[in-house]
Structure 1
Amino acid sequence: MATYKKRGYKPKKEKAVNEVEETYDETQSTTAEVFNNLDEAANKSEQWIENNSKPLFYSLIAVATVILGFLAYNKYVSEPTEREASNELAYPRSFFDEASTSTGVAADSLYTLGLEGGDGKYGFVDIAASFSGTKAGNLANYYAGISYLKMKKYSEAIEYLSNFESDDEILGPTALGAIGDAFADINQPKEALEFYEKAATKKNNEFTSPLFLFKAGQTAMELKDFNKAEGFFNTIKEKYSKTDQGRDIEKYINSAKYAQ
């Protein structure tokens, strides 16, 4: 019986095996190369650390010293100072609160006591100077500025209120508006308008925003900048129509419009 051999069968199989082996060898070679590179990089890193161990050690010590110093300062200096300043502020504030419900000479006397202190206690002026880096020291600038404004001492009011910084919803705009009031009272309407605008836009709320927009509008009218005044009054109409300033704002809009 005749037999025959399938042509190409065995060589084809051997070729496939060889291809797999070649591919496997190539992959292994690439992997080995990667690990060799990693080893080389690790060796270089170890060598660099060994060569720079002392500078690294001193740098870590320096960073740790700064962190520990900061924590110690907060615990043993900053926090006690904050508490002391806050306690000191209570004394002059009692006079300020009482003066707010008084009038005339009595009010001025109480504001003076709040500013200058007494009976061995600090007033707002001393607290602002002695505790300038604290929250209470910052607040002392505000109370001092308002006290001077109530006493019609305008340059002092502007000075202390300008030193006050706050993002509080009410106090921040009120301080800026009070500077505007001080400039208005010494007949400097341009400066007053500048601070009324700042006060109106410092925070958006239905108390300070319409109040200082209205003052800005009135001051712009005084400066005969009627177009600007109309803009302020229109903003009140659009955003704060239900506030005290918004109820009759239409007549102010018309006044500004027809004055142009």
Structure 2
Amino acid sequence: MATYKKRGYKPKAKKESDAVEENFNEEESTTAEVFNNLDEGANKTEEWVSENQKPILIGIGVVVVAVLGYLAFTKFVQEPKELDAANDIAQAQIYFEDALDASGKAQDSLYNLALQGGNGKFGLLDVIDNYGSTATGNLAHYYAGIAYLNTGEYKEAINHLEKFSSDDEIIAPLAKGAIGDAFMQLNQPEEALDYYEKAAKLRKNEFTTPKFLLKAAITALELKDGAKAEKYLNQIDAEYQDSAEASEVAIYLGQAKAMQ
């Protein structure tokens, strides 16, 4: 009967065995060294923390106090202030909205009441002075800017409108465009054109975008820049055909082409 020997491994020669053992000892030594270094690092860290425990705790305390202080400020100071500001601007808003529907001297009078206040109520300027850091104070800059624009105080209008900031789809470009209107009244068409361009690009919508593209085109014509005027007029014609401004494109397009 045939028999088979079990497969096995040939015993390693002495030199080979010694080399393996030596490599193992080196690896073991290296590993031990790594752990020793880690232990030393950990010990140094512990020592540093122990030695600097007081300033660390003070630093943590400062951060905690700052966070709690911010939350407390928001809850107990800023929120009530926002509420007070909203209450105090109410009458000025009524004057402002009434002025939008008025004309002539009555309109000027209402805008002045909105700015200065009346019947013992805050005006927009009072709101700005007392609640400048609030959202209502920010909005008061917009109202004040428009009021000054409509009463012929163009530098004051620019001053307040430049301080106003908003992410609103409509109000944000209207504020930029109103600065352009103020510069036009000051006979500074270059600055006006810059703000009309900013207003047109700030938001894309069917109301403000064609409105300020047309103003930019007309201002460019005044500056004898027919190419720029044509560009803006063509943009209205291509992208905002249903807008009120689209009906005026043909009136100015011929002038723009004639300048080139």
**TM-score category (smaller protein):** 0.7 to 0.9
Partner amino acid for 2:118?
G
C-alpha separation in 2, matches of 1:248 and 1:92 = 36
Correspondence for 2:89: 89
Partner amino acid for 1:179?
I
Shift of 1:68: 2.0
Contact 1:237–1:250 (8 Å) recurs in 2: no
Partner amino acid for 1:50?
S
C-alpha separation in 1, matches of 2:210 and 2:219 = 14
Is there any run of 5+ residues in structure 1 with no aligned partner, and where? Answer: 1-8
1:53-72 matches, within 5 Å, as: 53-72=53-72
Shift of 1:21: 4.5
Change (3 A) 1:104 1:250: closer
Shift of 1:200: 1.4
Change (3 A) 1:30 1:222: same
Alignment partner of 1:33 is 2:45: no
Correspondence for 2:149: 149
TM-score w.r.t. length of structure 1: 0.86
Shift of 1:177: 0.9
Map Cα deviations across residues 18-77 of structure 1 (whole Å, 9 max, x no partner): 666555444433322222121111111111112212221222222222222222222222
Map Cα deviations across residues 151-205 of structure 1 (whole Å, 9 max, x no partner): 2332322222222122221111111111211222343322322221221122222
Change (3 A) 1:25 1:111: same
Partner amino acid for 1:51?
E
Alignment partner of 1:133 is 2:133: yes
Alignment partner of 1:240 is 2:205: no
C-alpha separation in 2, matches of 1:123 and 1:12 = 100
Partner amino acid for 2:245?
Q
Correspondence for 1:191: 191
C-alpha separation in 2, matches of 1:257 and 1:10 = 98
C-alpha separation in 1, matches of 2:163 and 2:25 = 76
Alignment partner of 1:51 is 2:55: no
Change (3 A) 1:185 1:10: closer
Contact 1:237–1:249 (8 Å) recurs in 2: yes
After superposition, the CA RMSD in angstroms is 2.3
Does the residue aligned with 1:57 lie in a helix, a strand or coil? helix
Correspondence for 1:170: 170
Correspondence for 1:213: 213
Contact 1:96–1:114 (8 Å) recurs in 2: yes
Does the residue aligned with 2:152 lie in a helix, a strand or coil? coil
Identity of aligned residues (%): 50
Give the aligned length. 252
Partner amino acid for 2:229?
A
TM-score w.r.t. length of structure 2: 0.86
Structure 1 stretches of at least 4 aligned residues deviating more than 4 Å after TM superposition: 13-24
Map Cα deviations across residues 83-118 of structure 1 (whole Å, 9 max, x no partner): 111121211111211222222222222222211112
Correspondence for 1:73: 73
Contact 2:225–2:259 (8 Å) recurs in 1: no
